[in-house]
Structure 1
Amino acid sequence: MGTTTTGQVTLLATGGTIASRTDSTAGATVAADAGSAVLASAGLSDIAVEVVDLMQKGSYLLTFDDMLAVRRAIQAALASTTTLGVVVTHGTDTMEETAYLVDLLHDDPRPVVFTGAQNAADSTDPDGPSNLRAAIALAVSPDARGRGALIVFDGEVHTVPGTRKTQTTRLRAFGNPDRGAVGSVSTAGVTALEPAPARPAPLGTPPSGASTRVDIVACYPGADAALFSAALAAGARGIVLEATGLGNANAELCEAVRKAVRDGVVVVTSTRVHAGPVRGVYGAGGGRTLEDAGAIPSGLLRPSQARTLLHALLALELPPEDIAHHVLRRGRLTGDPSGPP
């Protein structure tokens, strides 16, 4: 990785596959290694790293408050002027959500880099050590400054908006179908990055423990409004529709959306489709009807990140018109080449 760097990287360990081993009693893979063991596996000697064991969980177990705890730990690490950047080792299942929340709130030019692993630490071919080496190299790179949060996996660097887990087992686990990778880190730790795009101003930090419920409801052939209504009955203040195509549903769901919006619930329309924007084009229960009913199209944000954004905005108690502004703007900034959604 080159010469010794002045300053240090803070490694926030949260568990995940990179820290997991097989429990011989249960026969299941669980997070087991402390951050010091994860770091030791990378075999670094020329960069100072301070390890903070934040939690030890598979990321499928995380809550919104856990994600906020990662944000607070990042802030604490960056309170030191000698911190060059922060690396977060994290499970891959919900990395796209935690990293996106951090990106939404990040107000410091120093980079925050998320990484993890597809193969457990005790596998015959663990990929965690190489991913961690790349993440640390990226965290100390001057070119990574001013980019918010980043994800590095299998040598590829991604900005977080629009990035998601695209493979369940392959080592190149993450992708951004609309934008692609923004750079790379070589096995020698050499970083190459595209010019940094403009970033919107960060959001304020939502309070912990807020009782904000935001659900995702899927659309499919023959879907009725039963699950949508159940989410409302459970107290949802926001709902993300995982719609079809450009963001389409049906007449029954559109009418349910209309009533919910009238009652003060914020509804965002995303899509189950791999790539491309959400746009109100079709009527008779399609995306145009949903927009007329008050639903907000998510642009290029897929349900996982659209829900994270909506949860944060509702927890900040912003009015619906401000929420709509943020969703529309941030959905565009994920790189839709054909213009606004």
Structure 2
Amino acid sequence: MAHVQLLGTGGTIASRGAGDQGSVATDTAADLAQDRYGELTVTARDVLTTGSYRLTLGQLRTIAEAVRDALADPATDGVVVTHGTDTLEETAFLLDLVHDSAKSTVLTGAQQPADSPAPDGPRNVGEAVLAAADERLRGCGALISFAGTVRSARGARKAHTLAADPFAGGVEVAHLAGDELVVTAAPVRRPALPPPPPAFDTTRVEIVTAHPGATPELFDFAVRSGAQAVVLAGSGTGNAGPGFAEAVRRAVGAGCAVVLASRVPWGPVLPVYGNGGGVDLVAAGAVPSGDLNPFQARILAALLVAHGTPVHEFPEAFRPYC
């Protein structure tokens, strides 16, 4: 009989209305594990109970440690993490980066609160438990299961504020056909990085977005005020306006790593344009994020910085994971 550990962190799936205060995360992991799961055994415990929009890097490290401990239990066949959808893609990517177990970790949540007339949380949890226990998904790292679709953590992002399945991107690993899990693909896995150290809690990686008329003033301020890395969310294939190439050069010279991502939802970052565009930004020291969106690129950068990666070694450390 397969055994799955359910780790609760809060989010809409654990929330109930609190009058004028809106919905607030209050339900426990045990509340979410009340349903029967056939021949599967599910044990539950709470790691956090909060909205994911409130999470800090320190709390992400707490979640990563809890998952690591659960996976290390020889009696556990898989792990499910319930999580708010707002920042689920970031936590999922961190868990994927440091995932060194053959067992699966599956994150899920809900778009409707627990006291909704039609809550989607119970179904999502049931499907996530089924995926976490399935031996065919061993070796897939961290996954996101939502509304009948199981996708890789890497490349996934929240693409709709209200839709029943708010996530898009990543590799579709499996889907539900009735009560049957149909496995369709396996994501490419990279070597696991070391778990986030305590320094991760206070690591500062800021995101600055390029737009028409943008100046590098905010970028420069982030560096001056102590950012250890900056993700520049450029336009198109990774471009920014006048002054940004010089700002990137100043930042790297001051020991602050710079990642060049794109504000476009899909597609890779490619240095194509000069005149201050991606070609000049990369020449100034920015590291292209590949197909990582700015938010997942930030998590990778924070993990590398927290492990003490110096700025001159940062590009070589970052590239294999983008």
TM-score (norm 1): 0.91
Secondary structure in 2 matching 1:251: coil
**Deviation of the 1:325 alpha carbon:** 2.6
4+ residue segments displaced more than 6 Å:
none
Q: Deviations over 1:264-303 (max 9, x none)?
A: 1100011111111001010111000100100000010001
Give the aligned partner of residue 181 of structure 1.
Answer: 172
**Structure 1 residue 194 and structure 2 residue 184: aligned?**
yes
Secondary structure in 2 matching 1:151: strand
Q: Is the 8 A contact 2:156 2:168 kept in 1?
A: yes
**Structure 1 residue 259 and structure 2 residue 250: aligned?**
yes
Q: Is the 8 A contact 2:172 2:185 kept in 1?
A: no
Q: Is the 8 A contact 2:152 2:171 kept in 1?
A: no
**Deviation of the 1:174 alpha carbon:** 0.6
Question: Are residues 128 and 187 of structure 1, via their aligned partners in 2, closer, same or farther at CA, if it must alter by over 3 Å?
Answer: farther
The one of 11, 14, 18 aligned to 1:19: 14
The one of 160, 171, 177 aligned to 2:164: 171
Secondary structure in 2 matching 1:320: coil
The one of 77, 89, 92 aligned to 1:96: 89
Report matched runs for 1:310-329 at 5 Å: 310-329=301-320
Q: Which range is displaced more, 27-36 or 197-206?
A: 197-206
Q: Aligned pair count? A: 321
The one of 32, 36, 41 aligned to 1:38: 32
Q: Is the 8 A contact 1:205 1:316 kept in 2?
A: no
State the percentage of identical aligned residues. 42
**Deviation of the 1:262 alpha carbon:** 1.3
2:27 corresponds to which letter in structure 1? D
2:122 corresponds to which letter in structure 1? P
Q: Deviations over 1:80-129 (max 9, x none)?
A: 21100000000000100001001000100000000000011111111111
1:77 corresponds to which letter in structure 2? A
Q: Is the 8 A contact 1:134 1:186 kept in 2?
A: no
Q: Deviations over 1:198-235 (max 9, x none)?
A: 41110011212443211000110010111111111220
Q: Is the 8 A contact 2:268 2:291 kept in 1?
A: yes
**Deviation of the 1:180 alpha carbon:** 4.8
The one of 259, 284, 287 aligned to 2:275: 284
Secondary structure in 2 matching 1:192: strand
Runs of 5+ unmatched residues, structure 1:
1-5, 332-341
Secondary structure in 2 matching 1:125: coil
Q: Is the 8 A contact 1:100 1:149 kept in 2?
A: yes
Question: Are residues 269 and 184 of structure 1, via their aligned partners in 2, closer, same or farther at CA, if it must alter by over 3 Å?
Answer: same
Give the aligned partner of residue 234 of structure 2.
Answer: 243
Looking at structure 2, the residues matched to 106 and 84 of structure 1 have their Cα atoms a distance apart, in angstroms, of: 14
Report matched runs for 1:1-341 at 5 Å: 6-24=1-19, 26-40=20-34, 42-176=35-169, 179-188=170-179, 190-210=180-200, 211-331=202-322
Looking at structure 1, the residues matched to 203 and 8 of structure 2 have their Cα atoms a distance apart, in angstroms, of: 27
Looking at structure 2, the residues matched to 161 and 323 of structure 1 have their Cα atoms a distance apart, in angstroms, of: 20
Looking at structure 1, the residues matched to 178 and 29 of structure 2 have their Cα atoms a distance apart, in angstroms, of: 22
Q: Deviations over 1:217-267 (max 9, x none)?
A: 011001011111111122001000011000000231111111111111100
**Deviation of the 1:321 alpha carbon:** 4.6
Runs of 5+ unmatched residues, structure 2:
none
2:41 corresponds to which letter in structure 1? A
**Deviation of the 1:43 alpha carbon:** 4.3
RMSD between aligned residues: 1.4
Q: Deviations over 1:304-338 (max 9, x none)?
A: 1000000000001123354313432222xxxxxxx
Q: Is the 8 A contact 2:207 2:298 kept in 1?
A: yes
**Deviation of the 1:74 alpha carbon:** 1.0
